[in-house]
A and B are shown apart, each in its own frame.
Chain A
Amino acid sequence: MTEQKTNSTKTKHFTRRDTLKTLGAAAGLAAGSHLMPLSGRYAQAQSSEPIRIGFQAHRTGIGASYGRWYERTTMAAAQLINDAGGINGRPIEIVTEDDGTDPKRGAEVVEKFAIQHKTDIVFGTLFSHVVIGSAPRAGELKIPYFVVSEGHHVASGKLNRYVLQPGITDVKSQVQSMAPWVGSNLGKKVTMIYPDFAFGHDHRDYFSAAIAAQGGEVIEKIAIPPTEQSFFKYFPRIPKETEVLYHVMVGPGVLTFVKELGEFFGSDRPQIFGFIDSLEAVDLANPGLEALEGTYFWEGFPRYAQNDGANPHDAFYREKVGVDANGASLSDPKDISTYAHMFGCWETLYIIKQGMEAADYKGPADRAKLIEAVESFTDFPEGPEHPQGAKIFNGQTHQVFGIQNISQVTDGKLKVVHRTSIEDSLYEPEVDYTKMAF
């Protein structure tokens, strides 16, 4: 404290050289030893209050239509957890902050959670650039960061030990697991249309490799600039010999995209296979989407209740989140959920619970123990906690793997025609986070 006082009384007769000296001294001081008051300020007190979970939500920006449903799913799961007695006897509290679907704000929000809200962990991010922008801060502030992003960033080894994705399969395995079925049922000559985003490039690279392994070939790759509003002019690039058109779009242009696709081909079209990302939060009954009848989609979790007995926990999950059998909000049938992805929030929250219980989590001091506990998990059985299905977790890569669905548009609804096995989606680990220091 004396240090500060000298500084402020000096102000009046300060020269430039003095400033530089002080700056230098301060820098040296800071470098040499950890400043006592500072490290004190960044530490956190333990508490017997609720376990606080920072929810990094896309309330505004391009992720907002996903963010809304991520929030609803999270709140539903949190409610259930609390109704069942919370975690380690403590209730959980979801603290939500909007990240604007922006990586800069995302990093700021992580700081806010860690320091101001003093949450125990951060959770719930979807968009990859927000995850990657926030991850370094989570690592530096040593706060566990559970993402629900389906990006390959976690398993690629680019992030750090504090980042985990235990609730949703990553894009690499999703894409890989589609190739065998696509190759043997739809065709071998594939044209891909994807956004010129890293996410689109992942689809391009992983699918190209996977379909080649099936004896197929990607004959044309059409990367659409993300600023595009209209897609029609790109369709002539689709080669005539195309047997399968593989599309994955994201963002608000998706509706235009699929409408124009239908317009372009009419009835004489190749097989069309897409990722439901192209239609998340979009009503299949929308005018112009009739042309999708008979086409196929990947779905993480089938939007329409299948009633085929394959998934006994879907109905329970649906009811708790407030979604009807068509994947729409119970209160507004035109409000379509992001059903294929949002289950990840639910399942992640339960894994956090499981991890905290295994680690006997008491407070921020046990954060490393929590991560180690989650890393030690190997599989999650299907159940109310994991309604989408059973999963295998790889503690080294911090990534989970689950079954995937292929659905066909039949009478304006998505009907599952194939379920992959978990084994279809596994690949060689690219990283071992457990060897990194905390």
Chain B
Amino acid sequence: MSGIFNKALMVHLGLIVVLLALHFILPAYHHVSLARIMVLAVYALGFNLLFGYTGLLSLGHALFFAAGLYGAGLSMQFFQWTAGPGFVFGLFCAIAVATLIGMLALRTVGVSFMIVTMMFAQVGYLLILYYNEYTRGDEGFVILRELRVLGPLDLSAEDIRYLVALALLAAAILIKLALVRSPTGRILIAIRENEERTRMLGYDPFRYKLMAMVISGAFAGAAGAAYGILFGYVGASFASIQYSILPLLYVLMGGAGVVLGPLLGTIAMFYLIDIASGMTSAYLFFVGLALVFLILVAPKGLLGTVRERWAPWLP
């Protein structure tokens, strides 16, 4: 391990410590918001693995988020499972769905891949509506509060929720950091940069893309399952196209292909909407303007620009 790698590790570990310290000092509203942001950031982190590192733009990631959300929510509702088994089952569902969709959708490239993933996600959304008698369709359902426990921990309590969300995010950051700095991560980046050349170096691009898709789907599913468990609600809107675009926005804002980019993007987007909507009912206008401005001024996103200008060692 060279010094550069340790520096990167220190930054990421340091960030996790800062998030832990914030638990003790943040004003309540930001504390509760950050808990949700951290869960959604896991979703964006997974999206970034596929989009930022492997170069695959999926417009159907809400399907994986929803697979985790519904896998956890439905199993908890019907089998009276608590959070632990519910989460594991949700994660398993997301991995299964991501594997299946990956095997099909990865036969396509570029814009076709965007459209195919989007269409499969649309199928998932409609299936949730179609099986209304179990899912309550668009309306969704509440996960019973007494099931939202992990051993002795009451996950509906504000402090526990924050720490559990942080633990999930920390795991996601460290797994992703390890992955992108591993030889496998190098291959994913190589596929993004030049797929044909990568193949001629002896790597099967399909295999690596599928792996990226499954891990990315697992991140999305973990975020979905955690969202349902921590916030108590499961609903079809999380499977809609808007929720597929959301992680793309987070990643682009924070910086694609930077491990921490999605976290920063999720934070920035949340506060942009939160603050703008407090000032005007036309807040979408400002979101749009911010996106256009960002892409004109800092096309690589916030952290992408930081890396380009000041910190080339940032993974």
User: Is A in direct contact with B (CB under 8 Å) within the complex?
Assistant: yes
A residues whose Cβ falls under 8 Å from a Cβ of B: 3-4, 7-8, 10-11, 14, 16, 19, 22-23, 26-27, 30-31, 34-35, 37-38, 41-42, 59-60, 97-98, 102-105, 107-108, 111-112, 115-116, 128-129, 132-133, 135-137, 139-140, 151, 153, 158-160, 196-199, 201, 225-227
A129-B237, A132-B142 known; A38 vs B32 contact (CB < 8 Å): no
Query: Within 8 Å CB of B206, what residues of A?
Result: none
Contacts known (A133-B235, A197-B137); A42 close to B158, Cβ less than 8 A? yes
Q: Which residues of B contact A132 (CB under 8 A)?
A: 139-142, 233, 235
Which of A23, A136, A196, A227 contacts B137 (CB under 8 A)? A196
Residue B88 lies at the interface, judged by CB distance under 8 Å to chain A: no
Closest to B227 in A: A104
- For chain B, residues 99 to 136, give those with C-beta under 8 angstroms from any C-beta of chain A: 122, 126, 129-130, 132-133, 136
Measured in the bound complex, the distance between the Cα atoms of B184 and A238 in whole Å is 58
* B residues neighboring A (CB under 8 Å): 10, 13-14, 16-18, 20-21, 23-25, 27-29, 31-33, 36, 122, 126, 129-130, 132-133, 136-143, 145, 152-153, 156-160, 163-164, 166-167, 170, 174, 231-233, 235-238, 242, 273-274, 277-278, 281, 283-284
Contact B281 A59 (CB under 8 A): yes
Chain B residues with Cβ under 8 A from A38's Cβ? 23-24, 28, 31, 158-159
Q: Which of B16, B28, B277 contacts A19 (CB under 8 A)? A: B16
* Smallest CB separation, A158 vs chain B (Å): 6
Which B residues lie within 8 Å of A112 (CB)?
A: 29, 274
B158 proximity list for chain A (CB < 8 A) = 38, 42, 140
Q: How far is the CB of B113 from chain A (nearest CB, A)?
A: 22
C-alpha gap A115/B31 in the complex (Å): 10
User: Given contacts A8-B21, A42-B28, are A196 and B139 in contact (CB under 8 A)?
Assistant: no
Known contacts being A196-B132, A198-B139, is A60 close to B233, with CB within 8 Å?
no
Taking a contact as CB atoms under 8 Å apart, the answer to whether A102 and B21 are in contact is no
Q: How far apart sit A42 and B158, CA to CA, in the bound complex (Å)?
A: 9
A206 to B283, CA, bound (A): 39
Contacts of B25 in A (CB 8 A): 4, 37
Looking across the interface, which residue of chain B has its beta carbon closest to that of A42? B28
Contact between B163 and A30, CB atoms less than 8 A apart = yes
Q: Which residues of A contact B142 (CB under 8 A)?
A: 132, 135-136, 158-159
Establish whether residues A8 and B17, one from each chain, have CB atoms under 8 Å apart when the complex forms.
yes
Residues on A with beta carbons closer than 8 Å to the beta carbon of B136: 198
- Residues of chain A within 8 A of B10, CB atoms compared: 14
> Are A103 and B235 closer than 8 Å at their CB atoms?
yes
Identity of the chain B residue whose Cβ is nearest the Cβ of A16 in the assembled complex: B13
Q: In the assembled complex, which residues on chain A have CB atoms less than 8 Å from the CB atom of B152?
A: 31
- What's the least CB distance linking A114 to chain B, in Å? 9
Cα distance, A418 to B25, chains bound together (Å)? 61
Q: Are B130 and A196 in contact (CB under 8 A)?
A: yes
Given contacts A38-B159, A151-B139, A198-B138, 4 further A-B contacts (CB under 8 A): A8-B17, A11-B17, A14-B13, A159-B142
A195 to chain B, nearest CB (A): 9
Q: Known: A26-B23, A111-B32. Contact between A197 and B156, CB under 8 A?
A: no
| A115: B residues at CB distance < 8 A | 28-29, 32
Q: Which residues from chain A contact B23 at a C-beta distance below 8 Å?
A: 26, 38
**CB-contact partner of B20 in A26, A42, A139, A227, under 8 A:** A26
Shortest 3 CB-CB distances between A and B: which pairs? Answer: A136-B232, A198-B139, A116-B29
Please judge, given known A-B contacts A8-B17, A38-B158, whether A133 and B33 are in contact too, CB under 8 Å: no
Q: Is the CB of B231 within 8 A of A137?
A: yes
A102 CA to B16 CA, complexed, in Å: 30
Query: What is the bound-complex CA distance between A137 and B157, given in angstroms?
Result: 10
6 A–B contacts, CB within 8 A, in A order: A14-B10, A38-B31, A97-B277, A132-B141, A198-B132, A198-B138
Residue ID in chain A nearest B246 by CB atoms: A104
Separation of A153 and B141 alpha carbons in the complex (Å): 9
Tell me the bound Cα distance from A103 to B73 in angstroms.
Answer: 16
Distance (whole angstroms) from the CB of B118 to the closest CB of chain A:
13
The residue in B139, B143, B164 that gathers the most chain A C-beta atoms within 10 A of its C-beta is B139
Are the C-beta atoms of A226 and B28 separated by less than 8 Å?
A: no
Are B156 and A140 neighbours in the complex by a CB distance under 8 Å?
yes
Question: Are B233 and A111 in contact, CB atoms less than 8 angstroms apart?
Answer: no
Contact of A107 among B164, B167, B233 (CB under 8 A): B233
Tell me how far the C-beta of B257 lies from the nearest C-beta in chain A, rounded to whole angstroms: 24
Contact of A133 among B16, B122, B140 (CB under 8 A): B140
A19 and B142 CA atoms in complex are apart in Å by 34
Candidates A10, A23, A60; contact of B281 at CB < 8 Å: A60
Give every chain A residue within 8 A of B283 (Cβ-Cβ): 60, 98
Question: Out of A4, A30, A129, which one reaches B235, CB within 8 Å?
Answer: A129
Question: Contacts A7-B17, A16-B13: A201 and B137 contacting too (C-beta < 8 A)?
Answer: yes
Residues of A within 8 A of B28 (CB): 38, 41-42, 115
Contacting B27 at CB < 8 Å: which of A4, A41, A140, A197? A41
Question: Across the two chains, which residue of chain A brings its CB closest to B135?
Answer: A198
Shortest CB-to-CB span from B39 to chain A, Å, is: 11
Cβ contact within 8 Å between A35 and B235: no
Chain B residues, CB < 8 A from A59: 281
Query: CA–CA, A59 to B13, complex, Å?
Result: 41
Which residue from chain A places its CB closest to the CB of B273 in the assembled complex? A105
Contacts of A41 in B (CB 8 A): 27-28, 31
Interfacial chain A residues near B140, Cβ < 8 Å:
103, 129, 132-133, 198
Given contacts A103-B237, A198-B139, contact A137 B232 (CB under 8 A): yes
Distance, CA A111 to CA B136, complexed state (A): 25
Contacts of A98 in B (CB 8 A): 277, 281, 283
Known: A11-B14, A26-B20, A27-B167. A103 touches B141 (CB 8 A): no
The CA-CA distance from A108 to B132 in the complex, in Å, is 26
Alpha-carbon distance A42/B29, docked complex (angstroms): 8
Closest A residue to B126 by CB, please name it. A225
Return the contact of B233 from the options A16, A27, A42, A136 (Cβ within 8 A): A136
Report yes or no: B233 in contact with A4, Cβ–Cβ below 8 A.
no
A185 CA / B143 CA spacing, docked (Å): 43
Provide the residues of chain B in CB contact with A198, threshold 8 Å. 132, 136-140
Query: Judging by beta carbons under 8 Å apart, are B145 and A160 in contact?
Result: yes
| B139-A153 in contact (CB<8A) | yes
